[in-house]
Every structure is written in structure tokens, then in C-alpha cells.
Amino acid sequence: MIVKALRIGLGQLIVVLDLITRPRKLKRDPAAQAKIEQHAKGLTLYQFHACPFCVKTRRTLHRLNVPVALRDAKNDEQHRQALLEGGGRIKVPCLRIEENGETTWMYESKAIIAYLDQRFSAA
């Protein structure tokens, strides 16, 4: 019980620190931003709100100014089930990438962040 309370408290602290120290968004001209938003339509991030690795991934999305649909795999049973059926396991963060009629499930925050940086930082 003490461990659970500690975990919840630390999770909320991480979320608050994220809000306070959030990086600036990448500025683009409207046409370039519209192009980014179009490319991001096929992306969905399955995450837990207070997970430190999910926070790290969301910070990257914010910094790169990439609007990605967020799915709460902890509190929403439908999203949790979609993550299990599609990705094969309940592990977050997980980026669902839909491109050219194919769906890829990418786990691990480092891999997701590298993918996002490679795809959206230069665009």
C-alpha cells in the first residue's frame, strides 16, 4: 500500500515537472505545419499518463510540434485491448504507425523518439 502511494505520488510529481519544464514547440510556416499534421494522422501513441517514459515521449512530440492521438492504455479498457491485440503486449509507450496500408507497433521510448526526430525534426 505504501509502495502504491509512493508510485502515484512520484507519477504526479513527474507530470507536474513536465508541465513546468516543457520545451518550446518547433516553429514552422503554416504550409510546413499543415504537411506535418497530415503525416501525423497515421500516428497514435498508447501511453500511461504518469509513466516517465511516456512523459519523455510526449515531450518530444510537443518539442517537434507533432499532433499525435494519445490513447490511455491504463484507464481505458478499449484502448488497452487494442494495444494488446495489435501490438501483442501491454507495454507503453507504444507508437502505432499506419502507413501505406500497413500498421507497425513501435515500443521503447528511445526507438520512438529516434523515429520522431528522424521523421519530423528536419521537415
Low-confidence ranges of the chain (pLDDT < 70): 122-123
State the pLDDT at residue 115.
97
Number of domains in the chain: 1
The answer to whether 93 touches 54, Cβ cutoff 8 Å, is yes
Whole-number Å distance between alpha carbons of 12 and 51: 9
Q: Can you give the residue range of the structural domain that contains 72?
A: 2-120
State the pLDDT at residue 52.
92
State the pLDDT at residue 123.
53
**Of the candidates 43, 51, 61, the residue with the CA atom closest to the CA atom of residue 92:** 51
State the pLDDT at residue 23.
83
> What's 13's domain CATH number?
3.40.30.10
State the pLDDT at residue 24.
87
For 11-26, letters b (16+ CB in 10 Å) and e give beebbeebeeeeeeeb
